Structure formats: C-alpha cells, structure tokens
Amino acid sequence: MIRTKNISFSYEEYENTEELNKDDRELVLIARETALNAYAPYSKFRVGAAIRLESGIIVCGANVENAAFPSGICAERSAISNVVSNHHNDKPTVIAIAALTEKGLTDETISPCGNCRQVIAEEESRSGNKIRIILAGRNKIQIIDSISSLLPLQFNKMNLKVNLP
C-alpha cells in the first residue's frame, strides 16, 4: 500500500535588517562584511557567513575559490571549519549568510548549497544544538529554525550505525 507523506516547514521573512533583533542584525552586518574578504576571482560571487557561538563569540568564513574548481570551499563550510578548529567546545547557535555580486549585495537571499547543508547538519549533531539560519538579501531576510527544514530525510551518522561521540 502506498502512503504519501508530506514535509513542510515555516520560516520567518523580514524586509530589512531593522526588523531584526540587535544580535541578528549584527550577525547579518558581519556576514556582509565577511563577503568582502572572499577570494572569488572565477565566479565573482562573494559569500560571507557569520556564526554566533553560545559564548557570544562570532566566527566568520568566506568562500575561497581555486583554479582547480572543485578545490574551492563555500563560505558556510569555511566558517564551520573555523569553529571546529578554533572553538571546538563552543556551540554554534545561529549562522547568517550574505552574498555580493559585482553590483553589490544580492537582492534575493541565497541558501546554502547541498554540500553545506550536509555539513551544517553534521555540526548540529556534533554540538547537540539546533542552528538558526539567517539568509540575508538586501531587502529580504529569511530565518529558518534548523537545517532539518532545508535538508529533510538527511543522511547522518546513524545511517552508518556507528556510535561516534
């Protein structure tokens, strides 16, 4: 017998950073600034991610491209690598993501690619906390409660049947 299941999720949408609380607004501004540090000579699409940790520390990452294209890394994974490497026992609570083209901030929000969704999901499970996701366009901001909404039916360590810490 076929059973049809439905997956849906809700998210918040805002028109500009003024509508956000002070901490979220700060994080979006830092993500936008971080995008300026991207090394994106090939796509000219610069992305910045800023992660607020439970301690209040903010950790950033930008995309870093490479002449061997697959060797490049997205801003989100760049920021998470920084968290794991330098703040191992702290826990991410929220990540803000913003992008710049040659014309300036993107009007629309950009959403993490599939690889980054998978890595954000693993970071939620590593830290044991949900990570709020703030997608920040110039005049549109979307806030999602957890990566599970963007990556339903995810592959994770339970599927490997191993009890990693």
- Out of 72, 101, 126, 137, the only residue in the binding site for ligand THU (CB under 6 A) is 72
Catalytic hit among 65, 76, 123, 124? 76
101 binds ligand THU (CB under 6 A): no
User: What string of H, E and C letters represents the secondary structure of 34-92?
Assistant: HHCCCECCCCCCEEEEEEEECCCCEEEEECECCCCHHHCECHHHHHHHHHHHHCCCCCE
115 binds ligand THU (CB under 6 A): no
Q: At what angle do helices 75-86 and 114-127 cross, to 10 degrees?
A: 20
Residue partners of 24: CB distance under 8 A and separation at least 6 = 94, 96, 134, 143
105 binds ligand THU (CB under 6 A): no
Which residues between 13 and 42 bind ligand THU (CB under 6 A)? 40
- Out of 31, 32, 34, 65, the only residue in the binding site for ligand THU (CB under 6 A) is 65
Among 3, 27, 2, 7, which Cα is nearest to 136's? 27
90 binds ligand THU (CB under 6 A): no
- Least gap, CB of 73 to ligand THU (angstroms): 8
Taking CA atoms, 63 is separated from 101, 128, 131, 154, 160, in Å, by 13, 26, 20, 24, 30
Paired tokens of 109: 């929000």
- Least gap, CB of 63 to ligand THU (angstroms): 3
47 binds ligand THU (CB under 6 A): yes
Q: Is 76 tagged catalytic?
A: yes
What does the binding site for ligand THU look like in residue numbers (CB under 6 A)? 40, 43, 45, 47, 63, 65, 72, 74-76, 110, 112-113, 116
Catalytic sites, residue numbers: 76
